[in-house]
Structure 1
Amino acid sequence: MAVSGSSVERNMSLSSRSDSFSSDGRDLESVPETGCLSIIVLGASGDLAKKKTFPALWNLYRQGFLQSNEVHIFGYARTKISDDELRDRIRGYLVDGHGASTDDLPQFLQLIKYVNGGYDSDEGFRLLDKAISEHEFSKNSQEGTSRRLFYLALPPSVYPSVCKMIRKFCMNKSDLGGWTRIVVEKPFGKDLDTSEELSIQLGSLFDEKQLYRIDHYLGKELVQNLLVLRFANRFFLPLWNRDNIDNIQIVFREDFGTEGRGGYFDEYGIIRDIIQNHLLQVLCLVAMEKPVSLRPEHIRDEKVKVLQSVLPISYEEVVIGQYEGYKDDPTVSDKSNTPTFATVILRIHNERWEGVPFILKAGKALNSRKAEIRVQFKDVPGDIFRFCSGVKQGRNEFVIRLQPSEAMYMKLTVKKPGLEMATIQSEMDLSYRQRYQGVTIPEAYERLILDTIRGDQQHFVRRDELKVAWEIFTPLLHKIDDGELKPLPYKPGSRGPAEADKLLEKAGYVQTHGYIWIPPTL
């Protein structure tokens, strides 16, 4: 994995602080972070920790972002296993298949210790604090300078009890450049009321600057590129508005179903699982105004303003679906009304976007797997080439492909090579695999864990932002939960319900026929 910068620069970046003041208002800019770093993975024996959290920590370690002389990693869970048993469980997930060196893997695994205990157990968290403190003492870390990062790879139902235990037993004892930070995974509630209840519970225990609500989509390379694309390139500035853009689609498609996660998925559905968080976060970055600076709070302020400008969802601009065979899963109720597909149109009531539909679409068991942003521009006025090929060509589109085969390309109408004046759709293409050969794009979790260590909350969800997001979707979700809005059946491997394509057409989206973007091959 290619990394620029020396290890000295990495250490300096890890010591930088974006939170300039402590909870009592003292200026911390001049307080260096010299204490050792403890990363505690709660739920260490679960799938999320094994498949995402520990691999992300391993990748940060082998790139030099985590130094063995200052970091220690603790796993905590109810499962009764030893240190070596935990290491053996995660070892197979730390080999990425890209030929990256694993010479340092034994050394990394030795940094991992395991503590067994319940999630509401005084005894368990006392043992955890003792293990962390012994590590800090062994590193001669001055009291109050140590850093403790708690990663909750757990179901949200246990967040309150776990956070109470952390607050009671495991906090950094004083504030001399050290800190305690809590990373919580989605879902953050199921609707506005449950989300607010969770926010109140966590907010009574920790300051907002200590809470990092992780949405891994904000760590994706192309999502992180959105601010640069929009605000560092002059030719986008005059185009990025209702005068030139007809509609914007933000799409998430999977070509497989729930695959063993039916019971979990049936509790939430595709809107809670994907649209209300991942796709809505992307919408904010696409639609927001330029922030005053790159300071995290300035960026998050603009995201909140976008969400506050979203009009209530019109049920006539919603199509939900459920793929045939979904209820064959024994963990799914035969009477399930849970959507596995949804198309929702949001409308932003402000000067820039008035009249432009933002189409959020997500589904499982469809005919392809991809996530992308598709910005479709309006027709060229007075188009003199409209019949050069016998048929009208498609519209200009700017497409940002988030996964897989990360790319950005602009669909253009050009002259077809030859003696005749005929037009054809083609593209100007920036495909990352071709342009950045030899560079491995980091996983989202790597970037977000590193941001947490650095104290950069730019790519994490703020409490007021979360509240407004739930205000937008809660009425629709309750209508579905109450059975007032029924999902339409669709066949696995299809595009979803035909009604969704009709809704897109009604919203103004013009599909380009006969054109397919093909990722370049090396």
Structure 2
Amino acid sequence: MPDSPAPVTAEHNPLRHPDDKRLPRIAGPCSMVMFGVTGDLARTKLMPAIYDLANRGLLPPGFSLVGFARREWADQDFAKVVHDSVRAHARTEFREEVWRSLAEGFRFVPGAFDDPDAFDLLARTVRELDDRRGTGGNHAFYLSIPPAWFAPVCERLQASGLSDPRPGTWRRVVIEKPFGHDLESAQELNAIVEGVFPPDSVFRIDHYLGKETVQNLLALRFANQMFEPIWNSHYVDHVQITMAEDIGIGGRAGYYDEVGAARDVIQNHLLQLLALTAMEPPVAFTADAVRAEKEKVLASVRLPDDLDEATARGRYAEGWQGDVRVPGYLDEDGVDPGSTTETYAAVRLGVHTRRWAGVPFYLRAGKRLGKRVTEIAVVLKRAPHLPFTDTATEELGQNAVVIRVQPDEGVTMRFGSKVPGSQMEVRDVTMDFGYGASFTESSPEAYERLILDVLLGEPPLFPRHEEVELSWKILDPVIEHWARAGTPPPDYAAGTWGPDSAHELMARDGRTWRLP
């Protein structure tokens, strides 16, 4: 037998046991069946994350990984694909003894997603793992596949008996976004999936919720007395939630041209960040308690009456990304020349609760913008009285608490401070907390945390279908409003910060977008 992985100590293990911080959270006997193993997500994120979990000692000795795809591969061919993916993308060092132990549990099942014979072979493979690898009847099915196949694969899992656990065991399904194309399709998908798997066995992956900084938002708010007293409409002027990318669509034209920025990012990532920012303190950090507070927020979100003034969209044209000349969206390979898909979307929302009455939440997302950054900026009101001359504070802005989700995870606070010298001059300064500088232990990649939570059956970071449907109720009217306009989105030059209409949206409210 190969050597077992080295023990993981609390000093370098970021995924600790919730009750005893000296102990890691180790999954029990189980396997994962991965549909779509030839895709980019599986190769660059999922397979490396599984190896990193094994390398940290967080998977059981008999853990097994089954690949399912339309390829005529043997088990060893699949093992080579995983090996190459791990070598290229794993975040922990490659250790031969860990790899050999993990690879013993690799299996591959060839077949199409609607092939009954292939699913019968998969069922036999799973039973063999229970007998030979000690997976104990516990199996997670990861659907890293196009959304159109979610329902057919779930139905085939049910028909082959793979979705039905024996007493004392579990079967779980993991679904990647998007969860539907609109409210109606989301409801249809939820009905099919939850008709096969119980709601508590359905894990909808939003990888942003696995990021350490997103979870730190809850710690920032509820573990510190200094923030919660000002986290309301008495002190907060507005909130800006930004997800900016400096890349284009790459090779995703077939997917992206059907979706656009609003569906791709705002409906899931940004509305989840809004909910976590605006939620009331949960009674406990349990799945049901956290979800209940997020659902209250999403149910209270209202769109302004005039969507022309409260929304903006755009499409990147050719321009400069740094010192590289890049093409416009319509010139990307695979994009329909007559496309009206937006690559930038912004919206002003209101959260109609006692805490947030009158505070606008501005959400924006776009590609080919000035830099890559995701952040939540809570911008405070100006001091009611400044006992200084106007010239002493002419460069003074508004205080802000900025939670940086990526790429430099941390928190920045902006406040006024006196400039050194003989005169009273107050200017904005920042105080910065960065994860990399403050903690010696490494943060797990989002998919490490989420995959481990699936295997442990811990669902606090996964949205339920109620949250998904509430999010579509918010976004559907915006999408329908743009569709009725019948005009293409206005262009903005690549490397800039979006179309003029986005800046006008803020200017009408007497505000400006932050420049991260």
Structure 2 runs not aligned, ≥5 long: 1-10, 318-327
Greater CA drift, 468-477 or 103-112: 103-112
CA distance change for structure 1 residues 14 and 90 in 2, over 3 Å: closer, same or farther? closer
Cα distance in 2 for partners of 1:297, 1:333 equals 43
**One of 71, 75, 82 as aligned partner of 1:79:** 71
**One of 15, 26, 45 as aligned partner of 1:52:** 45
**Cα displacement string for residues 375-429 of structure 1 (whole angstroms, at most 9, x for unaligned residues):** 1000001112363546241110101111001110100100112233222211121
Give SS of 2:196's match: coil
TM-score, normalized by length of structure 1? 0.89
**One of 363, 369, 374 as aligned partner of 1:371:** 374
Give SS of 1:235's match: coil
How much does 1:505 deviate?
2.9
**Cα displacement string for residues 464-493 of structure 1 (whole angstroms, at most 9, x for unaligned residues):** 111111111112112333444641110001
1:30 maps to: none
Cα distance in 1 for partners of 2:134, 2:127 equals 11
**Cα displacement string for residues 450-470 of structure 1 (whole angstroms, at most 9, x for unaligned residues):** 111111111111111111111
Give SS of 1:248's match: strand
1:181 maps to: 172
CA distance change for structure 1 residues 99 and 292 in 2, over 3 Å: closer, same or farther? closer
Cα distance in 2 for partners of 1:508, 1:299 equals 34
**One of 150, 154, 163 as aligned partner of 1:163:** 154
How many positions carry a matched residue from both structures?
A: 490
Amino acid paired to 1:75: G
- Give the conservation status (yes or no) of the 8 Å contact 1:344–1:361: yes
Give SS of 1:238's match: helix
- Give the conservation status (yes or no) of the 8 Å contact 1:284–1:307: yes
- Give the conservation status (yes or no) of the 8 Å contact 1:321–1:490: yes
- Give the conservation status (yes or no) of the 8 Å contact 2:283–2:289: yes
Give SS of 1:115's match: strand
Cα distance in 2 for partners of 1:12, 1:230 equals 26
1:127 maps to: 121
**Cα displacement string for residues 9-44 of structure 1 (whole angstroms, at most 9, x for unaligned residues):** 8988446xxxxxxxxxxxxxxxxx6xx311111111
Answer yes or no: is 1:147 the counterpart of 2:138: yes
CA distance change for structure 1 residues 400 and 511 in 2, over 3 Å: closer, same or farther? same
TM-score, normalized by length of structure 2? 0.90
Cα distance in 2 for partners of 1:354, 1:371 equals 25
Greater CA drift, 129-138 or 480-489: 480-489
How much does 1:166 deviate?
1.2
Cα distance in 1 for partners of 2:54, 2:269 equals 27
Cα distance in 2 for partners of 1:134, 1:97 equals 29
Amino acid paired to 1:451: D
Cα distance in 2 for partners of 1:176, 1:204 equals 19
Give SS of 1:361's match: strand
Amino acid paired to 2:126: I
1:267-282 equivalences in 2 (<5 Å): 267-282=258-273
Answer yes or no: is 1:384 the counterpart of 2:387: yes
1:110 maps to: 104
Amino acid paired to 2:146: P
Amino acid paired to 2:455: I
**One of 3, 7, 13 as aligned partner of 2:13:** 3
CA distance change for structure 1 residues 137 and 11 in 2, over 3 Å: closer, same or farther? farther
How much does 1:440 deviate?
2.3
How much does 1:151 deviate?
0.5
- Give the conservation status (yes or no) of the 8 Å contact 1:394–1:510: no
How much does 1:100 deviate?
2.3
Cα distance in 2 for partners of 1:208, 1:318 equals 34
CA distance change for structure 1 residues 269 and 172 in 2, over 3 Å: closer, same or farther? closer
Cα distance in 2 for partners of 1:358, 1:300 equals 20
Cα distance in 1 for partners of 2:178, 2:383 equals 43
- Give the conservation status (yes or no) of the 8 Å contact 2:52–2:92: no
Cα distance in 2 for partners of 1:511, 1:46 equals 36
Cα distance in 1 for partners of 2:474, 2:111 equals 39
Answer yes or no: is 1:305 the counterpart of 2:305: no
Amino acid paired to 2:282: P
1:91 maps to: 83
1:258-273 equivalences in 2 (<5 Å): 258-273=249-264
CA distance change for structure 1 residues 431 and 306 in 2, over 3 Å: closer, same or farther? same
**One of 113, 124, 136 as aligned partner of 2:130:** 136
Give SS of 1:417's match: coil
CA distance change for structure 1 residues 511 and 312 in 2, over 3 Å: closer, same or farther? closer
Amino acid paired to 2:383: V
**Cα displacement string for residues 340-391 of structure 1 (whole angstroms, at most 9, x for unaligned residues):** 0011111111111111110001010111111001110000011123635462
Cα distance in 2 for partners of 1:61, 1:254 equals 31
1:200 maps to: 191
Cα distance in 2 for partners of 1:443, 1:5 equals 11
Greater CA drift, 100-109 or 270-279: 100-109
Cα distance in 2 for partners of 1:419, 1:98 equals 51
Cα distance in 2 for partners of 1:312, 1:150 equals 37
What percent identity do the matched residue pairs reach? Answer: 36
**One of 300, 307, 323 as aligned partner of 2:316:** 323
CA distance change for structure 1 residues 50 and 473 in 2, over 3 Å: closer, same or farther? same
1:64 maps to: 57
CA RMSD after TM alignment: 2.3
Cα distance in 2 for partners of 1:406, 1:40 equals 32
1:8-27 equivalences in 2 (<5 Å): 13-14=25-26
1:351 maps to: 354
Greater CA drift, 271-280 or 2-11: 2-11
Amino acid paired to 2:119: F
Cα distance in 1 for partners of 2:64, 2:420 equals 61
- Give the conservation status (yes or no) of the 8 Å contact 1:11–1:65: no
Give SS of 1:465's match: helix
1:246 maps to: 237
Cα distance in 1 for partners of 2:109, 2:23 equals 28
Cα distance in 2 for partners of 1:175, 1:309 equals 41
Structure 1 runs not aligned, ≥5 long: 16-32, 518-522
Amino acid paired to 1:224: Q
**One of 463, 483, 505 as aligned partner of 1:503:** 505
Greater CA drift, 412-421 or 51-60: 412-421
Cα distance in 2 for partners of 1:6, 1:498 equals 47
Cα distance in 1 for partners of 2:358, 2:95 equals 53
Give SS of 2:330's match: helix
Give SS of 2:276's match: helix
Cα distance in 2 for partners of 1:361, 1:500 equals 9
Cα distance in 1 for partners of 2:276, 2:448 equals 21
CA distance change for structure 1 residues 280 and 44 in 2, over 3 Å: closer, same or farther? same
- Give the conservation status (yes or no) of the 8 Å contact 1:10–1:64: no
Answer yes or no: is 1:403 the counterpart of 2:406: yes
